Structure 1
Amino acid sequence: MASSVGAAKAAAQVSTPRGMRPIDLVHLAKQCLGDEGLELEILRLFDTTAKTYFSRLQQAESFDDLALNLHSLKGAANGVGAWAIADLARGCEAELQAGRPLTRERIGDLCVAVEEVRSFIASMLDGEAA
Structure 2
Amino acid sequence: MIEVTQTALDAVASPPLIPGDRPIDHVHLARMTLGDRALEREVLTLFERQIGLLMARIETAPHPVAAAAAHTLKGSADGIGAFAIAKAAAEVEQAAREGDMARRSFAVEALRAAISETRTEIAELLRPVC
TM class by shorter chain equals 0.7 to 0.9
Task: Give the alignment of 1:22-37 within 5 angstroms.
Answer: 22-37=23-38
Q: Structure 2: which 5+ residue stretches go unaligned?
A: 1-18
What's 2:106 paired with?
A: 105
Compute the TM-score of the two structures, normalised by the length of structure 1.
0.77
Counting matched residue pairs gives 111
Deviation of the 1:72 alpha carbon: 1.0
Task: Give the alignment of 1:50-69 within 5 angstroms.
Answer: 50-60=51-61, 62-69=62-69
**SS class of match (2:23):** coil
**SS class of match (2:20):** helix
Query: Would you tell me which structure has more helix in proportion to its own residues?
Result: 1
Larger relative CO (CA 8 A, sep 6+): 1 or 2? 1
- Aligned-residue CA RMSD (Å): 1.7
* Percent of pairs with identical residues: 38
Compute the TM-score of the two structures, normalised by the length of structure 2.
0.77
Rate the CA distance shift 1:98–1:58 in 2: closer, same or farther, 3 A. Answer: closer
Rate the CA distance shift 1:28–1:87 in 2: closer, same or farther, 3 A. Answer: same
Q: Contact 2:54 / 2:69 at 8 angstroms: preserved in 1?
A: yes
Q: Distance in 2 between matches of 1:57 and 1:119?
A: 21
Rate the CA distance shift 1:41–1:85 in 2: closer, same or farther, 3 A. Answer: same
| 2:84 is the alignment partner of 1:81 | no
